[in-house]
């Protein structure tokens, strides 16, 4: 993406804590901060994670100040001996720690309110670097701002809720005041199923070259793909019109492979289509073991259309609940187009739903044959428009095959409802 570098305000984040390095804690704070900065048109360009060591914190801080327009530091502001951020700041910036009267007051009030007494460890939290301006006047753990340094510096607690509050209430408004923005950023996410990342990139290659000011972000989320388009412009209408134009061009190139936008999941999209048509749905699952039912019922309100899923793993279950004849199974095998079709007819007969889908396959690692290797999956879909049946060959391990099969099933339900050629294209 080529942008006018002058218009972008870059931030850096330093997150402090041994628990982040040892993997005990996942760095959700970094994702939260990056996301909210981005929404406010600030770009995080560099995140550094260091442990509870003064030297490392100081080094990270000095490097960040050199590179970025502003710096956020999160963590290491508490009362314990491994909270060393303030000491590192004092050392790096040559700003000795001083008893901060407002902080002392906040801490004293807090202790009084909770009937606790002052300890040296707690008192330490009232010692802040010279020039520090306290962000929050309630919590004892001080978040603070240094606006008189070479670059503006924000110090936030590592506790997620405290960090999030101070980011929203103080950091973002202060940044907006300090860096009034000339340009506007707008972005749009599209969700895709049925194409690999490389296939998507190939189909969009020319479009991407034609629009050098639009950033094309590809995010594989097996078995789906997320595509995020981001535009920066000097005006809101300019950004919106470029974005709308590119989104339309992408839609023209990728068609029905795009199943949704933003936070919409495939199971939500299928659910909404069912609701719109007033359809009910029943499943007969085998190799997916209940995964399709699980995904569909993750959506609040799914009981309006989801009737049942008969997970018939054993042959006996297929026979007794789905009326699949033992003869058919012995002739074609439990994993076959014939049995998939019998399964879907069986579950529809019993449930009388508007749509029914069955799936049977070999999830592995054993059970494959030369003609039907591991990853072979048969699916059948029945509704008033007709019967659709299909054979798939998926790769990967057992869990990947189950996931790929479940998402293929959801995708076929979607296509059966919106693709005019779905039942004719066979």
Q: What is the nearest approach in angstroms of a copy of itself to the Cβ of residue 131? A: 27
Please tell me whether residue 35 binds a copy of itself under the rule CB under 8 A: yes
Q: What is the nearest approach in angstroms of a copy of itself to the Cβ of residue 130? A: 25
CB contact set of 382 (below 8 Å; sequence gap of 6+): 344, 345, 348, 355, 356, 357, 388
Q: What is the nearest approach in angstroms of a copy of itself to the Cβ of residue 75? A: 12
Residue numbers 219-238 binding a copy of itself by CB under 8 A: 219-220, 226, 228
Q: Which of 58, 229, 246, 363 binds a copy of itself (CB under 8 A)?
A: 363
Stretch that binds a copy of itself, among 174-182, 232-240, 246-254, 360-368 (CB under 8 A): 360-368
Task: For a copy of itself, give the closer residue by CB, 31 or 418.
Answer: 31
Q: Is the dihedral of CA 26, 32, 38, 42 positive or negative?
A: negative
* CA gap 40, 27 in Å, rounded: 21
Q: Do residues 1 and 211 touch, judged by C-beta distance below 8 A?
A: no
* CA gap 239, 321 in Å, rounded: 56
Q: Mask of contacts with a copy of itself, 94-123, x by CB under 8 A?
A: --------------------x----x-xx-
Q: Which of 266, 279, 246 is nearest to 354 (CA)?
A: 279
State whether residue 17 is helix, strand or coil: coil
- CA distances 371 to 267, 270, 347, 377, Å, are 32, 33, 27, 12
Task: For a copy of itself, give the closer residue by CB, 30 or 142.
Answer: 30
Q: Which of 159, 176, 185, 153 is nearest to 13 (CA)?
A: 153
* CA gap 268, 385 in Å, rounded: 22
Please tell me whether residue 47 binds a copy of itself under the rule CB under 8 A: yes
Q: What is the nearest approach in angstroms of a copy of itself to the Cβ of residue 50? A: 6
Q: Which of 54, 56, 127, 341 binds a copy of itself (CB under 8 A)?
A: 56
Q: Do residues 407 and 266 touch, judged by C-beta distance below 8 A?
A: yes
Please tell me whether residue 346 binds a copy of itself under the rule CB under 8 A: no
Task: For a copy of itself, give the closer residue by CB, 260 or 293.
Answer: 293
Q: Which of 22, 94, 237, 421 binds a copy of itself (CB under 8 A)?
A: 22
Please tell me whether residue 168 binds a copy of itself under the rule CB under 8 A: no
Q: Which of 3, 8, 40, 51 binds a copy of itself (CB under 8 A)?
A: 51
Degrees (nearest 5) of the Cα angle 38, 40, 44?
Answer: 35
Task: For a copy of itself, give the closer residue by CB, 148 or 313.
Answer: 313
* CA gap 324, 315 in Å, rounded: 9
Residues in the interface with a copy of itself (CB under 8 A) total 95
Please tell me whether residue 262 binds a copy of itself under the rule CB under 8 A: no
Q: Which of 105, 109, 202, 245 binds a copy of itself (CB under 8 A)?
A: 202
Residue numbers 374-403 binding a copy of itself by CB under 8 A: 395, 398-399, 402
Q: What is the nearest approach in angstroms of a copy of itself to the Cβ of residue 417? A: 20
Q: Do residues 391 and 377 touch, judged by C-beta distance below 8 A?
A: yes
Q: Do residues 132 and 145 touch, judged by C-beta distance below 8 A?
A: yes
Stretch that binds a copy of itself, among 44-52, 232-240, 256-264, 325-333 (CB under 8 A): 44-52
Q: How many CB atoms lie within 10 A of CB 408?
A: 21
Q: Do residues 271 and 299 touch, judged by C-beta distance below 8 A?
A: yes
Give per-residue burial for 255-267: e unless 16+ CB within 10 Å, then b. ebbbbbeeeebbb
Task: For a copy of itself, give the closer residue by CB, 60 or 93.
Answer: 60
* CA gap 243, 211 in Å, rounded: 10
Please tell me whether residue 308 binds a copy of itself under the rule CB under 8 A: yes
Please tell me whether residue 44 binds a copy of itself under the rule CB under 8 A: yes
Residue numbers 63-92 binding a copy of itself by CB under 8 A: 63, 78-82
Q: What is the nearest approach in angstroms of a copy of itself to the Cβ of residue 303? A: 6
Task: For a copy of itself, give the closer residue by CB, 269 or 299.
Answer: 299
CB contact set of 93 (below 8 Å; sequence gap of 6+): 61, 129, 146, 149
Q: Mask of contacts with a copy of itself, 316-345, x by CB under 8 A?
A: xx--xx------------------------
Please tell me whether residue 240 binds a copy of itself under the rule CB under 8 A: no
Give per-residue burial for 295-319: e unless 16+ CB within 10 Å, then b. bbeebeebeebbbbbbbbeeeeebb
């Amino acid at each position: 993406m080529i942008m006018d570098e002058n218009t972008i305000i870059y931030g850096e984040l330093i997150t402090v804590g041994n628990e982040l390095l040892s993997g005990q804690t996942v760095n959700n704070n970094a994702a939260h901060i990056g996301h909210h900065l981005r929404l406010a048109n600030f770009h995080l360009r560099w995140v550094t994670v260091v442990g509870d060591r003064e030297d490392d914190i100081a080094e990270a801080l000095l490097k960040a100040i050199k590179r970025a327009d502003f710096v956020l530091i999160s963590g290491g502001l508490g009362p314990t001996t491994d909270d060393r951020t303030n000491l590192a700041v004092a050392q790096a910036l040559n700003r000795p720690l001083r008893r901060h009267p407002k902080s002392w007051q906040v801490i004293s009030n807090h202790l009084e309110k909770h009937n606790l007494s002052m300890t040296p460890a707690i008192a330490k939290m009232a010692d802040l670097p010279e020039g520090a301006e306290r962000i929050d006047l309630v919590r004892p753990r001080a978040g603070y701002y240094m606006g008189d340094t070479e670059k503006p510096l924000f110090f936030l607690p590592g506790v997620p809720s405290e960090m999030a509050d101070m980011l929203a209430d103080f950091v973002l408004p202060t940044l907006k005041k300090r860096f009034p923005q000339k340009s506007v950023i707008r972005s749009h996410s599209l969700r895709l199923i049925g194409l690999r990342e490389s296939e998507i990139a190939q189909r969009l290659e020319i479009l991407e070259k034609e629009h050098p000011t639009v950033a094309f972000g590809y995010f594989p989320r097996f078995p789906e793909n997320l595509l995020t388009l981001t535009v920066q412009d000097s005006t809101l209408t300019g950004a919106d019109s470029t974005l709308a134009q590119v989104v339309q061009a992408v839609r023209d190139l990728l068609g029905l492979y795009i199943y949704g936008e933003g936070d919409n999941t495939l199971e939500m999209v299928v659910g909404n289509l069912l609701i719109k048509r007033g359809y009910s749905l029943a499943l007969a699952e085998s190799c997916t073991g209940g995964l399709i039912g699980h995904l569909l019922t993750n959506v609040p309100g799914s009981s309006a259309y989801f009737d049942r899923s008969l997970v018939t793993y054993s042959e006996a279950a297929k026979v007794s609940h789905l009326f699949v004849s033992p003869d058919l199974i012995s002739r074609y095998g439990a994993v076959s187009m014939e049995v998939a079709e019998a399964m879907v007819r069986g579950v529809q007969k019993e449930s009388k739903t508007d749509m029914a889908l069955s799936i049977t396959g070999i999830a592995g690692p054993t059970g494959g044959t030369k003609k039907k290797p591991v990853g072979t999956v048969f699916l059948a879909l029945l509704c008033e428009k007709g019967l659709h049946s299909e054979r798939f060959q998926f790769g990967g391990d057992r869990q990947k095959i189950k996931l790929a099969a479940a998402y293929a099933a959801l995708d076929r339900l979607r296509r059966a409802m919106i693709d005019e050629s779905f039942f004719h294209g066979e």
